[in-house]
Amino acid sequence: MATSLSTHPTPLLLTISILIFSLAFPVTGDDKHVFGKPIPRKTLGLKKEKLSHFRFYWHDIVSGRNPSSVTVVSPPRNSSTGFGVVNMIDNPLTLRPELSSKMVGKAQGLYASAAQQEVGLLMVMNFAFVEGKYNGSAFTVVGRNAVFHAVREMAVIGGSGLFRFARGYVQARTHSFDLESGDATVQYDAYVMHY
**Beta-bridge partners for 52:** 192
Q: What is the mean pLDDT of the chain?
A: 89
- The residue-averaged pLDDT of 155-180 equals 97
Average pLDDT (88-98) is: 98
pLDDT exceeds cutoff 60 at 3: no
% of the chain surpassing 70 pLDDT? 83
pLDDT at 15 over 70: no
- The domain 43-194 having CATH identifier 3.40.50.10490: the answer here is no
pLDDT of 29 strictly over 70: no
What is the dihedral sign for C-alpha 172, 149, 140, 65? Answer: negative
Rounded to 5°, angle at Cα 170 from 127 and 39: 70
Tens-place pLDDT, residues 66-84: 999 999 999 877 788 899 9
Average pLDDT of 26-55? Answer: 78
Question: What pTM was computed for the model?
Answer: 0.78
Instruction: List the chain domain ranges.
Output: 9-38, 43-194
pLDDT greater than 70 at residue 189 = yes
How high is the pLDDT of residue 112? Answer: 97
Across 74-102, average pLDDT: 93
Tell me the Ramachandran region of residue 9: left when phi exceeds 0, alpha when psi lies from -120 to 50, beta otherwise: alpha
> How far apart are the C-alpha atoms of 105 and 125, rounded to whole Å?
12
